[in-house]
């Protein structure tokens, strides 16, 4: 069995290491990071948004990109701004509180 420390890193592994080192997260990772503390599983997010569970899985794994309309529904289900999903930080005016 090869030892990981002796095998040269793959391009994918180097990119992952770079993202981790710089703190950059993908859109899917940000969505997963936002839903987990809320206790929302992928199947529940699918129910809340009307987006299929498989599409949610693909978005979170980076296999596919959501349509803008899907981003809006995901952001609403997570009570978050679309800008936070896209960029990872709030840019612009603060959102008024939900009633």
pLDDT at 10: 77
For residue 93, the number of C-alpha atoms closer than 13 Å in the C-beta half-sphere is 3
Question: 36: which DSSP letter?
Answer: G
Helices (H), 1-99: 11-22, 27-35, 42-49, 53-61, 68-77, 82-87
List, for residues 38-71, the tens digit of each pLDDT value. 999 999 999 999 999 999 999 999 898 899 999 9
d(CA 88, CA 31): 10
Instruction: Please give the backbone phi and psi of residue 71, each rounded to the nearest 5 degrees, phi first.
Output: -60, -40
Show the domains of the chain with their CATH numbers. 24-87 (1.10.260.40)
**% the chain with pLDDT above 90:** 42
């Amino acid at each position: 069995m090869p030892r990981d420390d002796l095998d040269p890193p793959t391009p994918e592994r180097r990119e992952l290491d770079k993202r981790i080192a710089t703190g950059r997260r993908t859109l899917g990772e940000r969505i997963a990071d936002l839903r987990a503390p809320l206790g929302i599983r992928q199947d529940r997010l699918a129910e809340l948004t009307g987006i299929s569970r498989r599409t949610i899985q693909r978005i979170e794994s980076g296999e596919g990109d959501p349509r803008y309309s899907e981003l809006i529904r995901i952001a609403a289900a997570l009570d978050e701004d679309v800008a936070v999903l896209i960029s990872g930080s709030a840019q612009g005016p603060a959102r008024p509180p939900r009633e």
